[in-house]
Structure 1
């Protein structure tokens, strides 16, 4: 089989690999679509994974082989699958912090989503795999995991009807979050980005206000749009720790800042007095967990999250490097990129 294999930030090879062999409780999946995630781009760009790694985890495909003890799916089923599984029993899981579970990042599919065939281990078959209805496309199936990530974020920082929401970053995650915020009856959804094409896309997906932060200071614009109150919820969807300061400037008294992006290591000065004086909350949200996959699928099926509008580019696996270059272009037109087997 063929896989797109990472070796360095400028070296991703489309090469032959052995097709995985499955066990009695596992399945073999033929890839039909795999989303290019921001974490894939980050790992490839910053070389945070070892050479020889196959990235990709937003997966949809067809089951072509099942182990003899598998009963919940069968050959021919169209499915989605996610890449991490908690244990459901440790102290973290008991408290609902499934993504903090020690087992969570120890599980994965083999070799990764950017491959023609993928072995799905037993825990994933049981907990993170689901069938796609006939009226749900493979692209929608590949969006189940990122939508579930955003649902986990809103679980940590809920939107209440009438809330004002500010999203810093109109990339693929920011655009999912704005659609969900509207679904949760946010009163006004504002979004920023340095890419004008993404701002146009955000407007088409329902953003009430979409603006470039260089055109007007974010704090000024948010205060103008909220009658001086500030945003009830500020979501940081870009991996820049400098945005934490911007978030504090824009958040309302009693508001919440949701950190939904990977920050580089290092300290960031923040106005600590706001915790006491204004009861501002800062929470983080990492990845997704199995309790949100069914909900994500239903939201995609109902087009609450509009995959057709979000997917702007499609590439074969052999052009993964070109897809990553397209995604990280500062003035590019990409929002969501989907990868497909070359056939």
Structure 2
């Protein structure tokens, strides 16, 4: 059977040729559809903090004297995207042209020990959409989903603003789940950006004893209260250690989730978490963080937990967004055409007060 549908030969795209060379291309080659592939026409694509750090040349992407380059240019950035099927390979089953779909960021190999035992998000090759030339991302009119993509359906009546948040909220859910929150826990979430807000609205569903949110921007703290925070504090305006200790009989919080990517938030978290508490680290950092490790071991015996990507999260997030359990109103703050990518990246930095900035096609 021949390929179903047809993709144009060229498309508009943002292309990263090197860390210092990002270009808008008006006629970049569109993806070709292999027998196991799906091609979607992109509806929208969010800009992640990781996309910004990559465009700024961060070593974790481009490598340095310690680590090799992980990205493989030229590539099209973007992993927070979704769209409609316009072409399918002859071996693809279960989908029809026009179906609205989204895929997990990682493209699992299906062969390594992590894929085989169900931990696909930690796949050893670790190829992700939007960072390699053979897995181009959503900052383009068309995207190819290869065979191993983990695909979820996007409801027809889901708004673009909600669908744009499926990927970040999936990451938020996984981070909160790593904290094993119960209704007896006092939880602190540090950072009320897009990911932090996703954590707040999901953590609210866990019914913790108290949900406390920290952020340096008062406008974000107001949004945190709207999304379910019981208490909010601005670390720039008060002594967080003193405030949290006063609320917890001088013990500290049970769970601290770090979602700022700033070294000071890590030190703050280790300080205000109680003995035998749980510290969850989600962020991508732009610089090294130094802490007193004796706090983790000898003094407090803390559980230090990492959180990466959004395994098995999309169906839950989509369902609960549609039911209204996960709040999304006002998180997507600005949208741009792909031709305006420089302005969009500038806005995505948050310097103008934006939360989630996205491209629409």
TM-score for the superposition, normalised by structure 2: 0.85
Flag the 1:131–1:111 CA change in 2: closer, same or farther, 3 A.
same
Partner of 2:6: none
Partner of 1:116: 141
Flag the 1:188–1:275 CA change in 2: closer, same or farther, 3 A.
same
Shift of 1:139: 3.1
Partner of 1:292: 313
Pick one of 114, 130, 136 that aligns with 1:92: 114
The equivalences for 1:187-336 within 5 A come to 187-264=209-286, 266=288, 268-289=290-311, 291-330=312-351, 332-336=352-356
Partner of 2:104: 82
Contact 2:335 2:357 in 1 (8 A): yes
Question: Is 1:5 matched up with 2:5?
Answer: no
Distance, in Å, in 2 between the alignment partners of 1:294 and 1:146 is: 13
Distance, in Å, in 2 between the alignment partners of 1:88 and 1:275 is: 36
How far does the alpha carbon of each residue in 1:274-316 deviate from its partner, in whole angstroms, 9 at most, with x for none?
Answer: 4344331111111122x22211221222232222332122222
1:13 match: secondary structure: strand
Shift of 1:110: 4.2
Shift of 1:98: 3.3
TM-score for the superposition, normalised by structure 1: 0.89
Question: Is 1:40 matched up with 2:51?
Answer: yes
Partner of 1:61: 83
Question: Is 1:183 matched up with 2:205?
Answer: yes
Contact 1:162 1:186 in 2 (8 A): yes
Contact 1:60 1:141 in 2 (8 A): yes
The equivalences for 1:153-164 within 5 A come to 153-164=175-186
Q: CA RMSD, aligned part only?
A: 2.4
Partner of 1:173: 195
Contact 2:172 2:196 in 1 (8 A): no
Distance, in Å, in 1 between the alignment partners of 2:72 and 2:108 is: 24
Pick one of 324, 338, 342 that aligns with 2:358: 338
Shift of 1:231: 1.2
Contact 1:4 1:54 in 2 (8 A): yes
Which runs of 5 or more residues in structure 2 are unaligned?
Answer: 1-10, 63-70
Flag the 1:92–1:65 CA change in 2: closer, same or farther, 3 A.
closer
1:123 match: secondary structure: coil
Partner of 2:7: none
Distance, in Å, in 2 between the alignment partners of 1:263 and 1:188 is: 28
Flag the 1:86–1:309 CA change in 2: closer, same or farther, 3 A.
same
1:203 match: secondary structure: helix
Flag the 1:50–1:30 CA change in 2: closer, same or farther, 3 A.
same
Distance, in Å, in 1 between the alignment partners of 2:158 and 2:79 is: 19
1:23 match: secondary structure: coil
1:272 match: secondary structure: helix
Which runs of 5 or more residues in structure 1 are unaligned?
Answer: none
Shift of 1:10: 8.4
Distance, in Å, in 2 between the alignment partners of 1:50 and 1:27 is: 22
2:127 match: secondary structure: helix
How far does the alpha carbon of each residue in 1:112-149 deviate from its partner, in whole angstroms, 9 at most, with x for none?
Answer: 1110111111111xxx2122223322332332222221
1:307 match: secondary structure: coil
